[in-house]
Amino acid sequence: MDIFLGFVIFSIICSLAFVRVDRKHAVILIVTAVMFYLKLEYLLPVLLGMIVGFGAILPAAAGVVVYFLSVYMTDVSTLLTTSSSSSFGMGLQRIVNLMLIDKKLLVFLITFSLIIFITTLLCHLFYERAWLFAIFIGHIAMILLLLFGRLIFELDYKIWRLFLEMILGIGCCYIYRFFRGIGDVSRIEKASFEDDEYFYYVKAVPKIKVTQKDRNVTDIKSGENEDDILFDDITEETDLFDGNREEAEKE
């Protein structure tokens, strides 16, 4: 009963903090938790940084907490079911203790927050191909943080899955950029202006447009006809000139 009550309280807090502000935050929270269940959580941080930005940090962290909270609830419920002595509040206390001592939760919270922050920062650089640097630097930084956490705290996540999902994540980021429409960076234009309070830096990237090449079609038959007509005209002029010359000689 106390575990269910704690989960309800946490759900209300998340609803007030994210759903009331922006429904997009609720989607991020749910998607993050679902991706953890599907064992595809490493695909998220860089994508969230590219798609959503800084606003994805808190809902993504809440989604991580929701997933770990559900795992703790399952373990504690099983433990309390087999235990002979259990009092009200014991399950909730165990869950809180697990959250405080679980280093894996801490590593994922720090990693997700930092990677979303770094990716968003790189994507907003005043540079033509900033998104490309954001994809690779974001994934490399994520691997380094997770490997560092695994080494320091002796965590149990698998390295091969980390590298595999990194490759898949890079592919997903490229697909997102493709469907979003990459601008023609060869025709990029930059402008800067200011007012009394701010400096403004504008980067205009035109969309790529496929232009059809001009085709020069030569009609061979019409060309032949024109040559024949031209030849006939020359022949007629020659005959006329010869006739005039003969008449002049007779005179």
State the DSSP string of 101-129. Answer: H-HHHHHHHHHHHHHHHHHHHHHTSSSTT
Per-residue pLDDT at 35: 95
User: Per-residue pLDDT tens for 168-208?
Assistant: 999 999 998 887 765 555 566 777 878 888 888 776 766 66
- Alpha carbon distance 249, 244 (integer Å): 9
Among residues 94, 38, 32, which one has the least CA distance to residue 64? Answer: 32
Q: Which ranges of the chain have pLDDT less than 50?
A: 222-224, 226, 230-231, 240-241, 244-245, 248
Amino acid 223 reads: G
Question: Does residue 92 contact residue 3 with C-beta atoms inside 8 Å?
Answer: yes
User: 83 in helix, strand or coil?
Assistant: coil
Tell how far CA 55 is from the center of its chain: 15
Question: Does residue 184 contact residue 205 with C-beta atoms inside 8 Å?
Answer: yes
Question: Could you tell me the pTM of the whole model?
Answer: 0.70
Spell 120-138 as b/e; 16+ CB within 10 A means b: bbbbeeeeeeebbebbebb
Per-residue pLDDT at 84: 56
Per-residue pLDDT at 56: 93
Query: Is residue 177 classed exposed, middle or buried when 0-12, 13-18 and 19+ CB atoms within 10 A define those classes?
Result: middle
